[in-house]
């Protein structure tokens, strides 16, 4: 309690880091995140769109852009992920995030993300198990259980 995050400071430091090391992806990735956390959502979106102009196959830029959109507009986040999947179809995390964002309001669309991945990767047991368990997961709690197909897995 009482701990306040200095996202404005983080923005300033990351802007400097990007100015001097624009070729380093971690600084670029975090700058857009800090813009969003500092209530500068439009700057974060513009930042990722600019990065995607030069590197349209970097999944992390797509994921972060979708995350910003998901804060207010899940449909826009899903549209962004669909665009990303069209450009980077081998990036598994894009499908997982699409699944997660769609699960609450559009369970059939959520299952579609898993199916699309499995069409390309039929031997992916984790995704196959997730697809097999989606209906019972939705019925049981309306949301995925803790630890199920979370980011970074």
- How confident is the model over 99-138, as pLDDT tens digits? 999 988 888 899 999 999 999 999 999 999 999 998 777 7
Produce one character per residue of 66-79: b if its CB has 16 or more CB atoms within 10 Å, e if not: bbbbbeeebeebbe
Q: What is this structure's pTM? A: 0.81
> Can you tell me which residue has the tokens 């797509």?
62
Q: How confident is the model at residue 26 (pLDDT cuts 50, 70, 90)?
A: confident
Summarised one tens digit per residue, pLDDT across range 45-98 is 999 999 999 999 999 999 999 999 999 999 999 999 999 999 999 999 999 999
| CA 13 – CA 45 distance, rounded (Å) | 19
């Amino acid at each position: 309690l009482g701990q306040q995050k200095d996202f404005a400071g983080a923005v300033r430091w990351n802007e400097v880091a990007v100015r001097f090391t624009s070729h380093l992806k971690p600084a670029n990735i975090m700058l857009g995140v800090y813009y969003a956390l500092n209530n500068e959502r439009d700057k974060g979106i513009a930042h990722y769109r600019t990065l995607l102009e030069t590197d349209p196959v970097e999944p992390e830029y797509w994921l972060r852009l979708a995350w910003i959109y998901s804060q207010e507009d899940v449909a826009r986040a899903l549209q962004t992920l669909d665009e990303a999947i069209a450009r980077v179809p081998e990036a598994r995390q894009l499908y997982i995030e699409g699944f997660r964002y769609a699960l609450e309001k559009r369970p059939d669309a959520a299952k579609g993300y898993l199916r699309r991945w499995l069409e390309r990767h039929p031997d992916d047991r984790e995704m196959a198990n997730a697809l097999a368990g989606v209906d019972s997961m939705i019925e049981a709690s309306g949301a995925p259980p803790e630890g199920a197909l979370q980011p970074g897995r």
